[in-house]
Amino acid sequence: MNFNKTEIPDVIIIEPNVFKDDRGFFMESFRADLLAKHGINFQFVQDNHSGSKRNILRGLHYQIKHPQGKLVRVVAGEIFDVAVDLRKSSKTFGKWIAAILSAENKKMLWIPPGFAHGFYVLSDWAEVIYKATEYYAPEYDRSIIWNDPDIGIKWPIPEGSEPILSEKDKSGKRLKEAEVFD
């Protein structure tokens, strides 16, 4: 596996070694020892799997207590995956990073605790699987509005189009009003 730091050094793009032949491919999608060697030394306690149609935008989600680190990958389709730093003491507070994750490129994104996470579906259908370091705790679930101008995420939404949002995501707060981490 190759571990590539991003402009926000705690967020890492992981590229697995993929072995292809005429039968298909093989790859290791999780190796605790290699992750730990690169600073991702967490116990994962929950796996999540979502399926979404084109133009669905999910996020920006986080848990204010029991914050989740997430190891995100796509097993069908393609997404624009985003992490926003919500750690007030961080030099990159309020900054965002994005990566294209797809079943084809097999890249994974490590998003540590203290970040909001969201994604926009680029393909007709996408299935996202992610490992989480904490259990889902709905009472601590929070959402920041996807288009907060103070964050300024450049979502790849076609001109003249609006993303499809859940009611929860439509009512997300602006960063300046949101609960964040110290």
CATH of the domain at 167: 2.60.120.10
User: Could you tell me if residue 39 is inside a domain?
Assistant: yes
The total number of structural domains in the chain stands at 1
Marked catalytic residue, from 61, 62, 117, 120:
61
pLDDT digits (tens, 9 = 90+) for 60-114: 999 999 999 999 999 999 999 999 999 999 999 999 999 999 999 999 999 999 9
Marked catalytic residue, from 62, 117, 120, 130:
130
User: Could you tell me if residue 182 is inside a domain?
Assistant: no
Reply yes or no on whether 61 is catalytic. yes
Average pLDDT of the chain is 97
pLDDT digits (tens, 9 = 90+) for 26-75: 999 999 999 999 999 999 999 999 999 999 999 999 999 999 999 999 99
Q: And the tokens for 34?
A: 């290699």
pLDDT digits (tens, 9 = 90+) for 15-34: 999 999 999 999 999 999 99
Q: What residue numbers bound the domain in which 172 lies?
A: 2-177
User: Could you tell me if residue 35 is inside a domain?
Assistant: yes
Reply yes or no on whether 62 is catalytic. no
